[in-house]
C-alpha cells in the first residue's frame, strides 16, 4: 500500500521528525550556515540573521486565551527568541477559504496587530491566497520572521564560559552537558486544553486559557542574568518532545522530578478525561531553559520576577549519555518517559 | 449581507489590493523601514535585508513545464530579485492534506531542490502542518525568503544617475518617470494557460508549457548593463496589473504597443476559447523592466543574449501623469486597458 501523509506527520514528535529528516533534510541540507536546516533547531541562522517559518492550522480560530492571529505572532517570535535572536520583522501569509466572513478576518488581524505591539515586531510583507470552500476550516496562516542576534546573548555566554566551554554561539539543542539544570517557565498543557475545550464536540468544559504570549521580556531577563546554554518553547509534542530533542542532539540523558513540573489541576483532570499525557501537549507561551548549575537558582529567581515566568520551577537536570528522559515519580519511583509520536491533540497550532 | 472572502480576494488585481490596503496595511504600516509594507512592492527591505513571503495554492500540483515545488522557489526568488535583492535563503512551509501520497510529496520536493540549485539558494528552515482530508487539493506551500542587496544594483543605479535623478536605492514601483521605456522579457500568458490545460474539466488542449524559471541570470545581466529603474514579475493579474501598479505608484501613464507584446499563438487561441485577456494572466518566469530611454536598446540587446530573455521586446513607454495604461492597437487605434479585478484563472500560483 502506498505511504500517505497522516495527521501525525503534522503533529510534531517522532513521526513529523522522521518525515522532515528523511524527505526534507536529505534534500536541502546546508552545512555551510552557522545554524543550518539539519540542526532542526527552533530557527536557522545565516550570517547572524535568524530566520524562521511557521504555518498555523489551529481550529477553531478563536479559543479561550487566544486565536490564530495571536498564535501566528507568538509562535514565530518565540522561536526566534529561543535560539538567541531578537525578532525584527514578520511576514504574513494568509490562506483563506472562500466564504470566510470579513469580520472574522478583521478580528484575527486585530489580534495579530496587538500581539505584534506586545512583541515589538512589525509585519513588513505579506501575501493572500484563497482556496475553494471545503476542508480548510476557514483559514490557515504562515508567519515567517527574521531577527538579529539578541543584545544580551554575548553577556549570557560570557557567564557560561566563566564556568565551562560551550559548542555554539547560539542557544542550540546540542549545547547541554551533564549537570545542567532544566527550568520550565510556568504551567504546562494550558494551550492544548484551551483549544480542545473550544471544540464543542468533545464536551470538555474547563476554565483553562491558552498561555499564548510573546516571551521577549522573559528571555531578555534570563539572558541578562546569564548562564543559559539552551532554550526551547515546548510547542507540538510538549515538554516531553523538547526534552527528547535535547537528549538526542546533546547526546545526554535528562532526569525530571514529576512533583516539580507545574501543571494546573484543571489540565490534569482534562487530560485524565481525554486519556492523554499533559507532558505531550503543545504550549505557546512557555520556555524550557537549560542552565549551568552555578546559575540555576539565580536564573529561576529572575524568571519568577517576570509576569511570564512567575510560576517557573527547576524540574530536573542533565545526566551523562543515555538518550532517555527519566521521570522521578511522585511516589519515589523512576520510569522512562515515552518519546511522543506526535501531539495527542491535532491542529492546536 | 455580511461581506465574505471570494476567490477574487486571492487573485491579485484590484480586489486583492483593496483587501490588503483596507485590512492589512491599515493595521501594520511601518514607515520606518526603507521599503515598508505599505509600498506593496515585490518585497520589503529592512536594513538592507530583502524579505518576502509567498503562499502557493496552485492546482493541479503538476502541469506542463512545472509544479508547485518549482513554483514555490521561483516565485519567491524572483520577487527578491525584482526589487534589487540577491536571494540567499528560503523557508519552506508545507500544509498538506491528510492522505496525500508520500510519493507525490517526494516529487514536489525533488523539483523544489532542483529549482533551488538553479537559483543558487538554500532552504534553511521549514515547518509541516497537516489538515484533514477536504478541500485543500493535496497541499499548499509557503516559501518566504531573505536576500542581500544585489552586487550589481549600485552600478546599475550609477548609470541611471548619470542621466537623471532617482527616488530610491531600490527598484521600486514608484521609480518610473515619463520617457522611460517598458521592456518585457519574453512571451506572456504561458504559465496560466499551461495550468489551465492541466485541468481536464476545461477540455483545453495545448502544447503551452509554464514559463516558470528563476531569473537570477537575466536580472544580473540587465543590472550589469545598467539603466534599469524598476522591475516586476507579472504574476497574478499579468502584464496589465504590473503596468497599473507602476502607473499608480509612480503617478504616470503608460502606453504600450499591442503588436510588440510577445504572445504565443497557442496562448492567443486558448484565451479566445476561454474568453479571457492574455495580458491579465499570471506569468512565473518573466520580468517587466522600466529602463531609462538612453539605455533601453542596450538593455534589450543584453536580455536577448540570455536564455530567459531571448524573446524580449520594448513594448512601450512611460507618459506624463494619467494613471492609465493606453494600448496602441494593431489596427492603429488607441484604447484604455482595463485594470484587472483579479487574475481570470483562479489558483494558478
Which residues of chain A have a CB within 8 Å of the CB of B237?
none
Strands (E), chain A: 44-46, 49-56, 62-63, 66-67, 85-97, 122-131, 139-149, 181-184, 228-232, 253-257, 288-291, 313-319, 325-328, 334-336
Task: Give per-residue pLDDT as tens, A293-318.
Answer: 999 999 999 999 999 999 999 999 99
Nearest C-alpha of chain B: how many angstroms from A271? 23
Q: What is the mean pLDDT of residues B273-289?
A: 96
pLDDT at residue number A200: 76
Which residues of chain A have a CB within 8 Å of the CB of B4?
98-102
Partner-chain contact A146 B142, CB within 8 Å: no
Measured between CB atoms, which of B5, B7, B136 is closest to A102? B5
Which residues of chain B have a CB within 8 Å of the CB of A33?
89, 122, 124
Partner-chain contact A37 B10, CB within 8 Å: no
Partner-chain contact A10 B96, CB within 8 Å: yes
Cβ-contact B314, B304 below 8 angstroms: no
Under 8 Å CB pairs connecting chains A and B tally to 267
Q: Does the structure show a pLDDT above 70 at A1?
A: no
Task: Give per-residue pLDDT as tens, A221-252.
Answer: 999 999 999 999 999 999 999 999 999 999 99
For A151, A218, A295, A312, the CA distances from A307, given in Å and listed in that order, are 21, 8, 20, 10
Contacts of B1 (CB under 8 A, 6+ apart): none
Which residues of chain B have a CB within 8 Å of the CB of A2?
101-103
Mean of the per-residue pLDDT values for chain A?
95
Q: Does the structure show a pLDDT above 60 at A330?
A: yes
Partner-chain contact A100 B5, CB within 8 Å: yes
Partner-chain contact B136 A133, CB within 8 Å: no
Which residues of chain B have a CB within 8 Å of the CB of A137?
131-132
Which residues of chain A have a CB within 8 Å of the CB of B93?
53-55, 93, 142, 144
Measured between CB atoms, which of B4, B24, B113 is closest to A102? B4
Q: Following DSSP, what letter does each residue of A24-54 receive, concatenated? A: IIHHH--TTSSB-GGG--SSEEETTEEEEEE
Nearest C-alpha of chain A: how many angstroms from B56? 7
CATH class in words for A7-337: alpha beta
Q: How confident is the model at residue B1 (pLDDT cuts 50, 70, 90)?
A: low
pLDDT at residue number A2: 73
Q: What is the mean pLDDT of residues B214-218?
A: 98
Would strands A122-131 and A85-97 be described as parallel, antiparallel, or unpaired?
Answer: parallel
Q: Following DSSP, what letter does each residue of A171-201 receive, concatenated? A: --GGG--TT-EEEE-S--SHHHHHHHHT-GG
Which residues of chain A have a CB within 8 Å of the CB of B92?
24, 28, 53
Closest residue, chain A, to B349 (C-alpha) = A129
Pick the closest to residue A241 from A5, A4, A12 (CA basis).
Answer: A12
Contacts of B78 (CB under 8 A, 6+ apart): B214, B215, B233, B284, B285, B287
Partner-chain contact A46 B146, CB within 8 Å: yes
Q: How confident is the model at residue B177 (pLDDT cuts 50, 70, 90)?
A: very high
Task: Give per-residue pLDDT as tens, B67-88.
Answer: 999 999 999 999 999 999 999 9
Q: Does the structure show a pLDDT above 80 at A253?
A: yes
Task: Give per-residue pLDDT as tens, A88-125.
Answer: 999 999 999 999 999 999 999 999 999 999 999 999 99
Which residues of chain B have a CB within 8 Å of the CB of A51?
89, 91, 124-125, 146
Q: Does the structure show a pLDDT above 90 at A268?
A: yes
| Residues facing B53 on adjacent strands | B144
Closest residue, chain A, to B45 (C-alpha) = A124
Closest residue, chain B, to A1 (C-alpha) = B101
User: Could you count the other beta carbons within 10 Å of the beta carbon of residue B133?
Assistant: 15
Task: Give per-residue pLDDT as tens, B107-163.
Answer: 999 999 999 999 999 999 999 999 988 878 899 999 999 999 999 999 999 999 999
Mean of the per-residue pLDDT values for chain B?
95
pLDDT at residue number B335: 96
Measured between CB atoms, which of A49, A128, A140 is closest to B95? A140
Nearest C-alpha of chain A: how many angstroms from B301? 34
Domain boundaries, chain B: 7-337
Amino acid at each position: 500500500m502506498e505511504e500517505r501523509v497522516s495527521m501525525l506527520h503534522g503533529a510534531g514528535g517522532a513521526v513529523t521528525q522522521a518525515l522532515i529528516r528523511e524527505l526534507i533534510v536529505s534534500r536541502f541540507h546546508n552545512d555551510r550556515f552557522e545554524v543550518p536546516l539539519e540542526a532542526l533547531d527552533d530557527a536557522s541562522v545565516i550570517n547572524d540573521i535568524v530566520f524562521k517559518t511557521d504555518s498555523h492550522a489551529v481550529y477553531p480560530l478563536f479559543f479561550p486565551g487566544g486565536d490564530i492571529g495571536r498564535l501566528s505572532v507568538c509562535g514565530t517570535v518565540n522561536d526566534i527568541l529561543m535560539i538567541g535572536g531578537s525578532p525584527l520583522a514578520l511576514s504574513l501569509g494568509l490562506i483563506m477559504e472562500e466564504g470566510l466572513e470579513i469580520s472574522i478576518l478583521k478580528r484575527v488581524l486585530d489580534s495579530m496587530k496587538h500581539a505584534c505591539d506586545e512583541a515589538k515586531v512589525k509585519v513588513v510583507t505579506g501575501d493572500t491566497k484563497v482556496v475553494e470552500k471545503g476542508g480548510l476550516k476557514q483559514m490557515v496562516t504562515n508567519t515567517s520572521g527574521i531577527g538579529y542576534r539578541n543584545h544580551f546573548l554575548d553577556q549570557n555566554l560570557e557567564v557560561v564560559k566563566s564556568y565551562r566551554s560551550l559548542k555554539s554561539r547560539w542557544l542550540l539543542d546540542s549545547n547541554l552537558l551533564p549537570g545542567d539544570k532544566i527550568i520550565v517557565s510556568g504551567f504546562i498543557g494550558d494551550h492544548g486544553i484551551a483549544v480542545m475545550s473550544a471544540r464543542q464536540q468533545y464536551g470538555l468544559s474547563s476554565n483553562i486559557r491558552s498561555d499564548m504570549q510573546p516571551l521577549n521580556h522573559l528571555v531578555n531577563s534570563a539572558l541578562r542574568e546569564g548562564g543559559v546554554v539552551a532554550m526551547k518553547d515546548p510547542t507540538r509534542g510538549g515538554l516531553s518532545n523538547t526534552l527528547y530533542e535535547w537528549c538526542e542532539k546533546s547526546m545526554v540523558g535528562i532526569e525530571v522530578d514529576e512533583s516539580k513540573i507545574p501543571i494546573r489541576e484543571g489540565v490534569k483532570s482534562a487530560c485524565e478525561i481525554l486519556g492523554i499525557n499533559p507532558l505531550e501537549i503543545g504550549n505557546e507561551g512557555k520556555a524550557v531553559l537549560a542552565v549551568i548549575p552555578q546559575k540555576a537558582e539565580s536564573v529561576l529567581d529572575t524568571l519568577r520576577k517576570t509576569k511570564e515566568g512567575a510560576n517557573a520551577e527547576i524540574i530536573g537536570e542533565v545526566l551523562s549519555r543515555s538518550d532517555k528522559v527519566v521521570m522521578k515519580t511522585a511516589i519515589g519511583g523512576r520510569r522512562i518517559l515515552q518519546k511522543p509520536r506526535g501531539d495527542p491533540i491535532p491542529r492546536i497550532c
